[in-house]
Amino acid sequence: SFMSGASGLYVDALKAQRIGMVSPGSRNIIQFGNTSLALAKELTIGHIELDDLRAFAHRLRAKHCMFATSEVFKNIYAIELSLWTYGMPMSAYNDMLDIYNLPHLPTEPVKANIVRRVKRDIPDLGTLGVTVLKDPGMILRGVLKDCKQCNKCLRSCPEDALTIEEVTPYPMAVIRSDLCDGTACKRCELVCPTHTMSLKNMRTVDTDESQGKA
């Protein structure tokens, strides 16, 4: 089995095999690393040209429509779709294979040999090294006029993205957008007894600007 992208570098291949990201029958797992970054490097340093890449992409382009004609492929695809999309438990996988008279997957992964082709995303950091951003994204701030300081909003936040600044005349909600789940969550807003916490009333502030004020 081959793993690339984030899975090809950061993911533990043996754990990936145990949860089904890699076939449990794979005896060799090769992690190629982040191939997108490798390609970007080749373009940047001039080893390949963008025109060459366009020509290569054109050669890969399909000239016809392909429909799966293999019954085995169709049946396994249906099982995989049921597992990853429709909530079928892994314990039912071999039962589904029995329906189509297909061989079972091992219930436990075989011992696999792991080959890691790269150690990190960017092997050559140059003379300036790498700077890591501590607080990427935006900061959301909002005045809480009717805040009772019960801290229910703080306790409800699953990502610890929210803090409350004790300023006058009213407390200030501060949310890190890179951690916040946004409107898909809104637990802080829903749990507020006075409904003073409102995400739509938050004002965005650049991280640098926020740190500068501090």
What confidence tens digit (pLDDT) does each residue in 111-160 have?
Answer: 999 998 887 776 666 677 767 666 666 889 999 999 999 999 999 999 89
Tokens 């801290």 belong to residue: 151
Token couple for 5: 């992208």
What confidence tens digit (pLDDT) does each residue in 168-203 have?
Answer: 899 999 998 888 888 889 999 999 999 999 988 888
| pLDDT cut 90: percent of the chain above it | 37
Say how far apart CA 62 and CA 68 lie, in whole Å: 15
pTM (2 d.p.): 0.47
pLDDT of 64 = 61
Given pLDDT bands bounded at 50, 70 and 90, which one contains residue 214?
very low
Cβ neighbours around 175 below 10 Å, total: 24
Q: Is the pLDDT of residue 27 over 70?
A: yes
Instruction: Note whether 88 and 82 are within 8 A (CB).
Output: yes
Domains, the chain, with CATH or none:
2-116 (no CATH), 138-213 (3.30.70.20)
Q: Is the pLDDT of residue 110 over 80?
A: yes
Say how far apart CA 8 and CA 18 lie, in whole Å: 16
Instruction: Note whether 76 and 23 are within 8 A (CB).
Output: no
Name the H helices within 108-200.
152-156, 187-191
The alpha carbon torsion through 66, 71, 76, 80 (nearest 10 deg) reads: 50
pLDDT of 144 = 94
pLDDT of 125 = 64
